[in-house]
Amino acid sequence: MSLLVRGANQVATPLGPGARRTHKLGAVAVLDRAVVRCEGPDIVFVGDAAEHELRFPPPDETLDAAGGCVIPGFVDPHTHPVWAGSREQEFNRRLRGESYMDIARSGGGINATVAATRASDFDALLATTMNRLDTFLGHGTTTIEAKSGYGLDLATEIRMLEVIAAADRGHPVDLHPTCLAAHEVPAEHRSDPETWVRMLIDEIHPSIARRGLAEAVDVFCEEGVFSLDQTRRMLEPAADLGWRIHLHADELTPLGGTELAVEFDALSADHPMCVTDAGIAALADSETVGVLLPGTSFFLRSDYAPARRMVEAGCAVALATDCNPGSSPTESMPAILALATLQMGLTIEEALTAATLNAAAALGRASEIGSLEVGKKADIAVLSGATYHHLVYHYGVNPIRHVVKGGRVVVENGIRRDNRSLKDPADE
């Protein structure tokens, strides 16, 4: 099956097999009135329409960009897409002056979602997750990292990761599962958190690894949650379990989580709102990607990560939604790009790269996805606007007109095609 995306005013994409840094972060290739040809799930040509006609036969299908801008599908490297319940009342409490940690100490926060998720069965969790994935897809996201972490017991963590696996099989969006059982200390272990840490190390993580349900592990390394020492002990077995590492690092306090992530050669250090100069220096001298989550800062009305300082220091940075019910309830990467440019000092070009190629690097997938290049997966978003600037210029609306996933049109004129089960066994 061949597909030709034609009629674009411009094709805009970062280039390369890995994360971009410093001035290269903003190096976006812009091709006027170019076409993109897909054969099966892969890109085989990006360039001049006349050259395409000389080199290739007519395609099986065409997608008319109608003067819009063609960009890579977004990669969202930090999400929590599986949960039950809602926490809008907590949002109202924060508007009235209560802090995130105050609400958590009163029984709200993560543990409130844990209670609702534990009470929800597989089918209900899968249905709500599939609906969220539809929203991700409609906003141009074609790959996400998907964390567990609202179970905080073995049975529910397994159920969440099984939901992620089922959603990955049944939905066009690719999901990369991460075990975040170390998201919080569950209420039943609050009086003795060390017992929970030992359970994670000795029982929960090994059980999940044996089932092959996760690619990576994550820990919420934060004052009042898991200390540096506890986090270190949970990360040490990761390689033996066959897992890569993501880490919630320096979100609320400058604890040193970023340096710890670098020490363990983590794929990413996420939430670095309170990262220190030492953490920035360590990140810049590593392959670990700093994942910025401006939606969380916006929603919690807290400080933003020092994105400009990180970029100028040489850190590889990416953008993500942090989609979750408590601190960033959004599936919209375009909204995240708007915040990154308007509140964090990134240029539009830097934000586009951070949400595509660098985000792919944060998942260890930059050689496969994240840019429109021959040999990479044909994951494509088409904007309604004529240039990529419309991603942030026309804010507050969805700028995505069409989405192509693995060489197949999955969203056309803003409407999801009736092709929920797109993945062939050969594609998995």
Rounded to an integer, the average pLDDT of 259-270 is: 98
Residue 77 and residue 363 in contact, taking contact as beta carbons nearer than 8 Å: yes
Rounded to an integer, the average pLDDT of 334-352 is: 98
Rounded to an integer, the average pLDDT of 97-107 is: 81
Average pLDDT value over all residues in the chain: 95
What global pTM score does this model have?
0.95
Q: Per-residue pLDDT for 298 more than 90?
A: yes
Residue 142 and residue 173 in contact, taking contact as beta carbons nearer than 8 Å: yes
pLDDT band at 423 (very low <50, low <70, confident <90, very high): very low
Q: Per-residue pLDDT for 314 more than 60?
A: yes
The residue whose two tokens read 């409130």 is: 112
Residue 307: both structure tokens together: 């994105």
Among candidates 349, 421, 333, 343, which has minimal Cα distance to 381? Answer: 333
Rounded to an integer, the average pLDDT of 214-226 is: 97
pLDDT at residue 419, rounded to an integer: 55
Distance from CA of residue 138 to its chain's centroid?
A: 15
Q: For 378-422, how does the pLDDT look when each residue is reduced to its tens digit (9 = 90+)?
A: 999 999 999 999 999 999 999 999 999 999 999 999 999 865 444
Between CA 333 and CA 149 the distance in angstroms is: 22
Residue 181 and residue 151 in contact, taking contact as beta carbons nearer than 8 Å: yes
| Residue 186 β-bridge partners | none
Q: Per-residue pLDDT for 153 more than 60?
A: yes
Share of the chain above pLDDT 70, in %: 97
Q: Pick the residue with more confidence: 162 or 301? A: 162
Neighbouring C-alpha atoms within 13 Å toward the C-beta of 397: 10
pLDDT at residue 91, rounded to an integer: 85
Amino acid at 208: I
Amino acid at 19: A
* H/E run at residue 219: strand 216-221
| Strand 10-13, strand 29-32: pairing | antiparallel
CA angle in degrees (0–180, nearest 5) for 279-356-399: 125
Rounded to an integer, the average pLDDT of 65-85 is: 98
Q: Per-residue pLDDT for 428 more than 60?
A: no
Among candidates 220, 146, 235, which has minimal Cα distance to 184? Answer: 220
Neighbouring C-alpha atoms within 13 Å toward the C-beta of 57: 4
Between CA 211 and CA 158 the distance in angstroms is: 9
Residue 300: both structure tokens together: 């919690």
Question: Which CATH entry fits the domain spanning 2-72+371-419: 3.30.300.30, 1.20.1300.10, 2.30.40.10, 2.60.120.260?
Answer: 2.30.40.10
pLDDT band at 339 (very low <50, low <70, confident <90, very high): very high
SS3 4: strand
The residue whose two tokens read 């609306």 is: 397
pLDDT at residue 277, rounded to an integer: 98
Among candidates 119, 226, 123, which has minimal Cα distance to 180? Answer: 226
Domain with CATH 2.30.40.10 in the chain: 2-72+371-419
Eight-state DSSP code of residue 401: E
Eight-state DSSP code of residue 13: E
Q: Per-residue pLDDT for 64 more than 80?
A: yes
pLDDT at residue 426, rounded to an integer: 39
Between CA 82 and CA 161 the distance in angstroms is: 9
SS3 155: helix
Domain with CATH 3.20.20.140 in the chain: 74-361
Q: For 270-297, how does the pLDDT look when each residue is reduced to its tens digit (9 = 90+)?
A: 999 999 999 999 999 999 999 999 999 9
CA angle in degrees (0–180, nearest 5) for 270-273-275: 85
Q: For 322-331, how does the pLDDT look when each residue is reduced to its tens digit (9 = 90+)?
A: 999 999 999 9
pLDDT at residue 424, rounded to an integer: 42
Question: Lowest-confidence range among 104-118, 149-163, 169-183, 298-312?
Answer: 104-118
pLDDT at residue 57, rounded to an integer: 97
CATH topology of domain 74-361: TIM Barrel (3.20.20)
pLDDT band at 427 (very low <50, low <70, confident <90, very high): very low
